[in-house]
Structure 1
Amino acid sequence: MEKRLYEWFCTQRARHVPVSYEILATRAKIFHTQIYGTTNFEASRGWIANFRSRYGLRSIKICGEKLSNNQDAVDPFIIKLKEKIRELKLSSVQIYNADESALYWKMLPDKTLVLSQEKNAPGRKTIKERVTFLLCANADGSNKLKPLVIGKAQNPRAFKNSQIPVDYKASKNAWMTSSLFKDWFHNCFVKNVQRFQRSKNLPQKALLLIDNASSHGSEEELVSNDGNVMTMFLPPNCTALIQPMDQNIIRLTKLFYRKSLLIRILTNEDDIASSLKKITLKEATYLLYNAWEKVSPNIITKCWHKILHKETLENPDSDYEAEDLIPLSTLRQNLCSISQELNDVGELLNSTVGNDIVITDEERDGWLFEDENLLPLDESLNTEPNENVPETEVLKTVTNIDAIKCFETCFKWAEENDAPLSDLLVLQRLRENAYILNQKIVKQKKITDFFFK
Structure 2
Amino acid sequence: MAANRKRKKLSIEEKITVIETVGSGQSQRSVAKLFDVSKTQVQHIIATKDELLLEYQETLNNSQSRPKRHRKTNNEEINEATLKWYHERRSQNLPVSGSMLQEKALELSRQANNETFKASNGWLHAFIKRNGIVLKECNSIMSAVTEATAKGHGDLAVPSSSTTPAASQEQPSTSSDFVTDTYQVQDIFNFIETTILYRAVPDENLASLVEESKKGIMATERITVGLCCNLTGNEKEMPLVIGAPASKEDFRGLHTDNLPVTWETQNGAWMTTELFDKWLTNFDAKMKMQGRKTLLWVENSPSHQVNNPDITSVRIMYYPQPQLQPLCRGIIDTVKSSYRQFLLQEILARRYQHKSMDQMVKSVNVIDACYWLNYSWEKITCEQIIYCWQQAGFPVVCATTPAQRDHNLDRIAQTILDILKFEGVSLEDFYNCDLDLPTYSVIENHHSSPPQQCLSASNSPPDKPTINSYEEASELVQKLKQFAAEKNNTSILNAAMSINKEINWQVAIEND
Q: What residue in structure 2 maps to residue 364 of structure 1?
A: 427
Q: 1:411 to 1:152 in 2, by over 3 A?
A: closer
> The residue matched to 1:304 in structure 2 has which SS?
helix
**Aligned residue runs from structure 1 range 141-180, under 5 A:** 141-153=233-245, 157-159=249-251, 161-163=253-255, 164-180=259-275
Q: What residue in structure 2 maps to residue 266 of structure 1?
A: 348
Query: Which TM-score applies when normalising by structure 1?
Result: 0.58
1:343 partnered with 2:411: yes
Q: 1:160 to 1:405 in 2, by over 3 A?
A: closer
Q: Tell me how far apart the structure 2 counterparts of residues 251 and 223 of structure 1 sit (CA, whole Å).
A: 35
Deviation of 1:409 after TM superposition, in Å, equals: 5.2
Deviation of 1:80 after TM superposition, in Å, equals: 5.4
Q: Tell me how far apart the structure 1 counterparts of residues 178 and 506 of structure 2 sit (CA, whole Å).
A: 46
> The residue matched to 1:208 in structure 2 has which SS?
strand
Higher relative contact order (CA 8 A, sep 6+): 2
Among 431, 441, 452, the residue aligned to 2:500: 431
Among 339, 348, 362, the residue aligned to 1:257: 339
Report if the CA contact (8 A) 1:145-1:192 is conserved. Answer: no
Deviation of 1:185 after TM superposition, in Å, equals: 0.8
Amino acid at match of 1:138: N
Deviation of 1:101 after TM superposition, in Å, equals: 1.4
Q: Tell me how far apart the structure 1 counterparts of residues 483 and 251 of structure 2 sit (CA, whole Å).
A: 17
Q: 1:406 to 1:156 in 2, by over 3 A?
A: closer
> The residue matched to 1:267 in structure 2 has which SS?
helix
Among 396, 410, 422, the residue aligned to 1:310: 396
**Aligned residue runs from structure 1 range 285-296, under 5 A:** 285-296=370-381
Q: What residue in structure 2 maps to residue 326 of structure 1?
A: 400
Gaps of 5+ in 1: 1-68, 113-124, 312-321, 375-396, 444-453
**Aligned residue runs from structure 1 range 62-73, under 5 A:** 72=151
Q: Tell me how far apart the structure 2 counterparts of residues 275 and 101 of structure 1 sit (CA, whole Å).
A: 25
Report if the CA contact (8 A) 1:185-1:222 is conserved. Answer: no
> The residue matched to 1:83 in structure 2 has which SS?
coil
1:191 partnered with 2:285: yes
Report if the CA contact (8 A) 2:348-2:508 is conserved. Answer: no
> The residue matched to 1:146 in structure 2 has which SS?
coil
Q: 1:279 to 1:438 in 2, by over 3 A?
A: closer
Q: 1:159 to 1:401 in 2, by over 3 A?
A: closer
Report if the CA contact (8 A) 1:97-1:138 is conserved. Answer: yes
Deviation of 1:162 after TM superposition, in Å, equals: 0.5
Q: What residue in structure 1 maps to residue 368 of structure 2?
A: 283
> The residue matched to 2:385 in structure 1 has which SS?
helix
Amino acid at match of 2:503: A
Deviation of 1:212 after TM superposition, in Å, equals: 0.9
Provide, for residues 170-222 of structure 1, a one-character-per-residue CA deviation record: whole Å limited to 9, x for no partner.
33322112222112211x32234445xx3xxxx4211111111111105xx36
Amino acid at match of 1:151: G
Deviation of 1:415 after TM superposition, in Å, equals: 3.3
**Aligned residue runs from structure 1 range 34-113, under 5 A:** 72=151, 82-84=179-181, 86=182, 90-111=183-204
1:215 partnered with 2:278: no
1:373 partnered with 2:436: yes
Q: How many residues align?
A: 300
**Taking every aligned residue pair, what percent have the same amino acid on both sides?**
22
Query: Which TM-score applies when normalising by structure 2?
Result: 0.52
Report if the CA contact (8 A) 1:222-1:231 is conserved. Answer: no
Provide, for residues 364-396 of structure 1, a one-character-per-residue CA deviation record: whole Å limited to 9, x for no partner.
11121111239xxxxxxxxxxxxxxxxxxxxxx
Q: Tell me how far apart the structure 1 counterparts of residues 249 and 477 of structure 2 sit (CA, whole Å).
A: 24
Report if the CA contact (8 A) 2:339-2:373 is conserved. Answer: yes
Amino acid at match of 2:262: D
Q: Tell me how far apart the structure 2 counterparts of residues 420 and 251 of structure 1 sit (CA, whole Å).
A: 29
Q: Tell me how far apart the structure 1 counterparts of residues 469 and 266 of structure 2 sit (CA, whole Å).
A: 45
Q: Tell me how far apart the structure 1 counterparts of residues 274 and 344 of structure 2 sit (CA, whole Å).
A: 35
Deviation of 1:326 after TM superposition, in Å, equals: 2.5
Larger Rg: 2
Amino acid at match of 1:340: N
